């Protein structure tokens, strides 16, 4: 296993899988490659990787279904989807099932690795000095990567956690979708603003009774406000 942990790559196109494996290994990751969804799900459950890179169109079981089953297990390992076409439906379905990011084929393997590193940095959380954020019944502890609503902990993906933390960091401040893409995902040019909308909807659904704390400002973006 590499110094940075094991990444599971589930990709049925072997030349793509080999290329991704090569670039991840060069960057210090250990890599386990599977070529169908059933084997990918079994490997994820057995090996507990630090992240999963899942092709959406897989034999046996689609990548979105692999992700859904992991989330049902309570496994919130960061997931990056690979999609063969720039199809909004593929992207949105993947994100709604708990994915953190997506990359459209053809892609630069260097960009994929860079985005995976950024996702893992976010998932690792900030230093101990980062303050706890509180708004209404919602308490977000960046150091422990824990969010509670009225004392009840929530299961958030790393991206959902960071999106909520970004909004709670400046209550009342209205963020545009492009600002959220840059501040949370770390880029604005490789993802559409629909990505933000889907993640906001997912966070609201998980906040339950506190969902109203995230408010849509029509034509602008989003704000967290009690």
| Whether residue 180 has a cis bond before it, omega within 30° of 0 | no
pLDDT at position 128 is 47
Q: What is the mean pLDDT of residues 2-10?
A: 87
H helices present in the chain, as ranges: 14-26, 37-47, 63-72, 88-96, 109-124, 158-169, 177-180, 193-207
Q: What CATH class is the domain 6-124?
A: alpha beta
pLDDT at position 192 is 61
> Do 77 and 40 touch, CB atoms closer than 8 A?
no
Q: What is the pLDDT of residues 59-103, one digit of tens each?
A: 999 999 999 999 999 898 999 999 876 666 666 777 777 888 888
Neighbouring residues of 148: CB distance < 8 A, sequence distance ≥ 6: 138, 139, 154
Domains 6-124 and 133-224 share a fold: no
Question: Could you name the CATH architecture of 133-224?
Answer: Orthogonal Bundle (1.10)
- The ranges assigned to domains in the chain are 6-124, 133-224
In Å, how far are 86, 104, 136, 210, 217 from 191, measured between CA atoms?
Answer: 10, 10, 31, 28, 21
**pTM for this entry:** 0.73
pLDDT at position 95 is 76
pLDDT at position 2 is 58
Q: What is the pLDDT of residues 130-172, one digit of tens each?
A: 789 999 999 999 888 899 999 999 999 888 999 999 999 999 9
pLDDT at position 187 is 63
Of 9-23, 132-146, 168-182, the range with the highest mean pLDDT is: 9-23
């Amino acid at each position: 296993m590499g110094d940075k942990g094991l990444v599971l790559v589930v990709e049925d196109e072997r030349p793509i899988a080999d290329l991704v494996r090569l670039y991840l290994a060069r960057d210090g990751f250990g890599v386990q490659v599977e070529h169908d969804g059933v084997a990918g799900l079994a490997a994820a459950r057995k090996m507990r990787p630090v992240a999963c890179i899942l092709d959406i169109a897989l034999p046996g079981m689609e990548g979105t279904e692999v992700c859904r089953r992991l989330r049902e297990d309570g496994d919130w390992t960061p997931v990056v989807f690979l999609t063969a076409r720039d199809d909004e439906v593929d992207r949105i379905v993947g994100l709604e099932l708990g994915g953190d990011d997506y990359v459209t084929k053809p892609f630069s393997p260097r960009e994929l690795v860079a985005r995976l590193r950024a996702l893992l940095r976010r998932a690792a959380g900030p230093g101990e000095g980062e303050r706890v954020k509180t708004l209404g019944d919602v308490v977000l502890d960046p150091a422990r990567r824990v969010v509670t609503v009225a004392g009840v902990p929530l299961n958030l993906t790393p991206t959902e956690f960071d999106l909520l933390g970004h909004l709670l960091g400046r209550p009342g401040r209205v963020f545009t979708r492009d600002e959220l893409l840059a501040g949370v995902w770390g880029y604005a040019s490789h993802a559409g603003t629909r990505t933000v909308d889907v993640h906001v909807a997912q966070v609201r659904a998980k906040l339950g009774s506190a969902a109203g704390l995230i408010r849509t400002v029509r034509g602008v973006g989003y704000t967290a406000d009690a």
